Amino acid sequence: MRARSLSLARRLLSGSGRASLVAYDLAPLIEAGALCHGLTATGELVVAGLADDAVPASTWTDGPLRVRLDVVKEAPESAVRITACAVHLLGELEWVPSEYVADYLDGAGLDPRLVEIATTMGGRLGVVRTDRVLVHDSAGVFPLMFGEVAGQHPAGGAYWGGRSFPDAEQEWTARDLVGQLPVEDLAALAIGLGVTLSSRAEVTCSHTEGQIFCVDIDRTGLTLMAVELGRAKVHFVPFERPADGIDELADRLGQLVAAV
């Protein structure tokens, strides 16, 4: 479960989900929500957005600014809306001066969309520094050290061995693989091999009763929601070995189905 929490946090900080921040000393009720975010090759957390006079945090120029950053991710489902997981942190945001943005981005290994926003007219690039993050999902709340999540060596630099999986580009391909499994197989996986993360009373509709929804797909396993009459149960089905690519995911799914 710790490996799962680390992987979730890594994926969310790397760019999955929707990021928003609040500068609670400056404008505690005004959220900067139109942001791209990601981790650089050396494990720094960055955000990019457009300067907006209506959002004071986005136009701040007087040094570090204390902020709360939230990244919320929804399940890869089109029929229902499910909040899969979230990462929360308190830290300091410092905007990179415009004349240094290009140098900072060189070799940072960031998503091209983030780079485009940071370098467009009115765009800004900020570095968020923190010591700790909180992962929040159906299993509860798990505190993690930021350096561990970001793959930073205590002496500096990075030792993380590659990108998280699946990233935002791969997630729907991964979801299609899971969607090829019959509902009966998914139910068997959830009940026979899964660890129950939560069970709660839920107002259900006729089109969701008896369904199994994919809450999340991660290198460590599947998170599935089984909807019964008036109740929703979330199960985590772990892989025997991590999956770090689509081909490996297909292999791990085959192994799970063969085991039930």
Tens-digit pLDDT profile for residues 114-131: 999 999 999 999 999 999
* Sign of the alpha-carbon dihedral angle for 44, 50, 53, 59: positive
Q: pTM score, two decimals?
A: 0.91
List the domain boundaries for the chain.
2-150, 171-259
**Distance (Å, whole) CA 57 – CA 60:** 5
**What's the confidence (pLDDT) of residue 107?**
92
**What's the confidence (pLDDT) of residue 137?**
94
Give the distance, in angstroms, between the CA of residue 113 and the centroid of all CA atoms in the same chain: 17
**What's the confidence (pLDDT) of residue 161?**
42
**What's the confidence (pLDDT) of residue 186?**
94
**What's the confidence (pLDDT) of residue 210?**
79
Show the low-confidence residues of the chain (pLDDT under 50).
155-162
**What's the confidence (pLDDT) of residue 6?**
93
Q: Identical fold at 2-150 and 171-259?
A: no
**Distance (Å, whole) CA 166 – CA 84:** 14
**Distance (Å, whole) CA 31 – CA 125:** 17
CATH architecture group of domain 171-259:
Alpha-Beta Barrel (3.20)
**What's the confidence (pLDDT) of residue 162?**
45
Give kind and range of the element (H or E) at residue 65: strand 65-74
CATH architecture group of domain 2-150:
Roll (2.30)
